[in-house]
Amino acid sequence: MSDLLLQVVQGLSLGAVYAGLALALVLVHRFTGIVNFAQGELAMLSTYVAWQLLDAGMPFWAALPVTLAVSVAGGMLVERLVIRRVEGGGELTLVAVTVGLLIFVNAAAGLVWSFAVRSFPNPFPAALGFGSAQSGFSALGVLGVVAVVMLALYVLFRHTGAGLIMRAVVADPVSARLAGIRVGRVLGLGWGLAAGVGAVAGVLVAPLLFLEPNMMGGVLVYALAAAVLGAFRDPVVTVAAGLGLGVAETLAGTYVGFVGADLKVAVPLLVIVAVLLLPRRAAETAPER
Amino acid sequence: MSAVRRRSAAFPDGGPQGGNDPSAGGGPAGPPFLRVSGLRAGYGPARVLNGIELVVGEGEMVAVLGPNGAGKTTLLRALSGMVRGRGSVRLRGTEILGKAPEEVARLGVTHVPEGRGTFAPLTVEENLRIGAHLRRRSHVAEDMRRVLAYFPLLQAHLRQPAGSLSGGEQQMLAVGRALMAQPRLLLLDEPSRGLAPVTTRRLFDVLRAVNLHDGVTVIVVEQNAQLALEFASRALVMETGRLALAGEAGRLGPGRRVASAYLGPRR
Ligand SMILES: Nc1ncnc2c1ncn2[C@@H]1O[C@H](COP(=O)(O)OP(=O)(O)OP(=O)(O)O)[C@@H](O)[C@H]1O
Ligand SMILES: [Mg+2]
């Protein structure tokens, strides 16, 4: 594979991870109107769950569904135990709560697993050759898994009865309750789904970044940028933005001399600022999805 | 929830137009279909309902009239659990006051609220399916056909988002969605609002059909007194949080006491 092509593919796979976590952010926001700053830390926690299972000798593709199930349950639990208590508390309260959750989960993970950096096995074996070819193939694997997750979400929301009920709750929770829908449970399920999607992002990014309690910090920043670009509503724009950010970051880090590895975290910041400076009109006329 | 589609045997004395005693609707021995007693409710410190007493028999169609701000909407909200209240609201003997709206809805009480009640981004068909989400899948197609027969205007818009319908079409969709739930008790808050006169009559024809053929008990808030008195078996007039007068619509036509209590002096 040529060097540039490899860079682009790796950028896309990193971007797919950003897109995954961004989708988790969008899900939580659509269901409960909250920007969950702790989404990345929940994904980190999921990744540790996966690591423990792998460490106990479970094969990766068996550990993944177990991790997903644990994560969905965990997300629902967080909604139930924390979020539901502060629901009507105003935006700043909610920001404080999710940021507090971020710090708490991070510290707790450090306490349990220490801040030592661990390596996380790459689930995609070298199908062909070594070196660049291998990283090319594992990047395609990451892209494939994220694509499957997105397809699953699409099918869930558009083609199942449960998805229809979730969309009704998102559209109008009061009318949904009058139709006999147990809205509280559906909102919990939304948090669970988001935690599951975040878990996939965490597990996929861990082999690239190494496993440690702070691993999702940078990813969260990129995911927030992608979610902002999608106005916390549009899944297609969000995913495209995540992929674009991944490619932009990788290429800038490699080809733009002064950016390098340290400055490239500034890319999402620039994107957020640029989006916020765009004329508001564009956002306001965006059709409701 | 089981389908409520009995041809109501609840009119021991000849149908909803007969009988003075609304409590008779509950059957000879059992508790009345709906018994509201000492219902007080409001918003925060502001008390709106001041002790409502009301008994509705199964299969009745009751109209609630009254001036703006009397508390008609609040009464329906209290019945469906949207606002909290004190006192008692029993549906076939089961206390429903204090239950969450979704739990009240699951007992067969469907409330079509004032002004809205459709899911704007969802298509018309999806809205109707949401209405039936508690029912068995096998019944949904047939119910949908029946509701579309009641509101043929919706047929052409099935794949369109509900938010893109006209106000009147949305109102029909809201009622159609409520009917998809096969309710035992249907609460309607000014369903004729924004409808052309012809459409309003059509809507009330549908309500009468649902009431007579499916035995659905209906409580409808309606500003058009003539219409309410024509279609309902009883009319209640609400004034500042109380039911000021209850009578049989057929006997207390406009020009009698209802008229002076609600419509003002005779023209
Ligand atoms: N959400 C609310 N918060 C506070 N007060 C309210 C609220 N809704 C209604 N009220 C008050 O309760 C009283 C009764 O209102 P309600 O909507 O029940 O009247 P209504 O009989 O339905 O009137 P209309 O014929 O205009 O629909 C009014 O004085 C109103 O100001
Ligand atoms: Mg009203």
State the CATH number of the domain containing residue A65. 1.10.3470
Q: What is the DSSP string of A57-71?
A: T--HHHHHHHHHHHH
| pLDDT value, residue B249 | 56
**Rounded mean pLDDT, B176-197:** 93
Q: Which of B40, B47, B48 to mutate to test ligand 1, by most ligand atoms within 8 A of the CB atom?
A: B48
What would the pLDDT profile of A165-193 be if each residue is shown by its tens digit? 999 999 999 999 999 999 999 999 999 99
**Which structural domain range is residue A222 located in?**
2-121+131-284
Average pLDDT, chain B: 83
Within a domain: residue A215? yes
Pairing of strands B234-239, B61-65: parallel
Q: What is the CATH number of domain B7-117+186-262?
A: 3.40.50.300
Tell me, in angstroms, the distance from the centre of ligand 2 to residue B242's CA. Answer: 14
- Report whether pLDDT(A24) > 80: yes
What integer pLDDT is reported at residue A133 of this predicted model? 57
Q: Please state, in angstroms and rounded to a whole number, the distance separating the CA atoms of residues A282 and B154.
A: 33
Q: In angstroms, what separates the C-alpha of A91 from chain B's closest C-alpha?
A: 23
Residues whose CB is less than 8 angstroms from the CB of residue A151 and which lie 6 or more positions away in sequence, other chains included: none
What's the rounded mean pLDDT across residues A121-140?
A: 66
What integer is the mean pLDDT of B101-118?
Answer: 92
**Residue to substitute from B130, B135, B171, interface A, most A β-carbons within 10 A:** B130
ipTM of the complex: 0.82
Instruction: Give contacts of A169 with chain B, Cβ < 8 Å.
Output: none
Sequence-separated (6 or more) residues with CB below 8 Å from residue B198? none
pLDDT band at residue B220, thresholds of 50, 70 and 90? Answer: very high
The residue-averaged pLDDT of A222-234 equals 91
Q: Which of B47, B50, B64, B72 gets mutated to test ligand 1 (max ligand atoms within 8 A of its CB)?
A: B72
Whether A285 shows a pLDDT value over 60: the answer reads no
Over residues B30-48, the mean pLDDT reads 91
| pTM: predicted TM-score of the whole model, two decimal places | 0.85
B4 — contact with chain A (CB < 8 Å)?
Answer: no
The residues near A69 (Cβ < 8 Å, ≥ 6 apart) are: none
B235 closest CA partner among B111, B56, B32: B56
Pocket lining: B215 vs ligand 1, CB cutoff 6 Å: no
Lowest pLDDT segment from A126-130, A170-174, B68-72, B246-250 = A126-130
pLDDT recorded at residue B259: 45
pLDDT surpasses 70 at A128: no
Atom of ligand 1 nearest to the CA of B241: 14
* Confidence at residue B241, expressed as pLDDT on a 0 to 100 scale: 84
Question: How do beta strands B109-112 and B61-65 pair?
Answer: unpaired
Task: Tell me which chain B residues have a C-beta less than 8 angstroms from the C-beta of A163.
Answer: none
Q: What is the mean pLDDT of chain A?
A: 87
Percent of chain A at pLDDT > 90 equals 60
Write the residue in A168, A183, A289 that is nearest to B119 by C-beta. Answer: A168
**Residues from chain A contacting residue B101 (CB–CB below 8 Å):** 177-178
- The residue with greater pLDDT, A283 or B100, is B100
Atom of ligand 1 nearest to the CA of B114: 27
A67 in a domain, yes or no?
yes
User: Is A289 within the bounds of a domain?
Assistant: no
pLDDT band at B21 (very low <50, low <70, confident <90, very high): very low
Instruction: Please give, rounded to a whole number of angstroms, the shortest distance from the CA of A30 to a CA of chain B.
Output: 13
Domain count for chain A, please give it: 1
Would the CA dihedral through B104, B216, B67, B120 be positive or negative?
positive
Q: Does residue B61 register a pLDDT over 90? A: yes
How close A157 gets to chain B, by Cα (Å)?
12
Any idea where the domains of chain B sit in the sequence?
7-117+186-262
Q: Which of A205, A236, A195 is nearest to A143 (CA)?
A: A205
